[in-house]
Amino acid sequence: MAATARRSTAKAPTKSAVTTDPPFTIPGMSQGDASMLIELLQDRLNALNDLALTLKHVHWNVVGPNFIAVHTMLDPQVDAVRLMVDAVAERIATIGGSPVGTPGALVKQRSWDDYSIGRADAIEHLSALDVVYAGVVESHRKAISDTEEPDPVTQDLLIGQSGALEQFQWFVRAHIEQLGGTLANKGANTEMAAARRVKR
């Protein structure tokens, strides 16, 4: 599985599952802008739903000397990401769309594969999770740029979420940062490659 492709959400979400022509929208917003924002936000909704599930998967499958620290660190991240999911879904509805949160739609619309690591050492998981966060943060930042002109309210929502996601990535990176300031998974662009770089 290619994590950069997995998390970059480079392709557009499948339009057939997303309301691209809402019957109404926010006063002062054009139908065209609403359609674009709904599609963009559905992609973010899919990415965040996937991230919450991935974090929980790591929480259940982490082992080794750092188990308890990582196991307990991840639950607040899961809770925070689930709140982000709800906020994005409600923004879609506010704009006039119908948020799609079913597992089948997520799998059909996403441009990435499932997280590729099962039971593994805490540092292996964190190294891989850094790659996951890198993709989510990068695509969230692109969405921030894309929403600046049509809707600063949506942009503000995404900016707040990005700040939290970047902080969570910092928590993860603190475990794989070496004394010289470089990351142990430097240069790895897939989850599996990142995990292999730190495998004991």
For position 75, which CATH number holds?
1.20.1260.10
Whether 111 and 134 have beta carbons less than 8 Å apart is answered as: no
Note whether residue 159 is domain-resident: yes
Mean pLDDT score across all residues of the chain:
89
pLDDT per position as a tens digit, 130-173: 999 999 999 999 999 999 999 999 999 999 999 999 999 999 99
Cβ-based burial of 48 (10 A; exposed 0-12, middle 13-18, buried ≥19): buried
Question: Which structural domain, as residue segments, surrounds residue 187?
Answer: 30-198
Q: Is residue 65 part of a domain?
A: yes
CA 96, 97, 98, 103 torsion-angle sign: negative
Q: Do the domain assignments include residue 60?
A: yes
Give the rounded distance of the alpha carbon of 98 from its chain centre: 20
Q: What is the DSSP string of 81-128?
A: HHHHHHHHHHHHHHHT------HHHHHHH-SSPPP---SEEHHHHHHH
Q: Is residue 192 within 8 Å of residue 2, measured between CB atoms? A: no
3-class secondary structure, 29: coil
Contact 49, 56 (CB under 8 A): no
14 in a domain, yes or no?
Answer: no
Flag whether 12 is in a domain: no
Looking at the predicted structure, is the pLDDT value of residue 107 above 70? yes
- Does residue 50 sit within a domain? yes
- The total of structural domains in the chain comes to 1
Rounded to two decimals, the pTM is: 0.88
Report yes or no on 7 lying in a domain.
Answer: no
Specify if 40 maps to a domain: yes
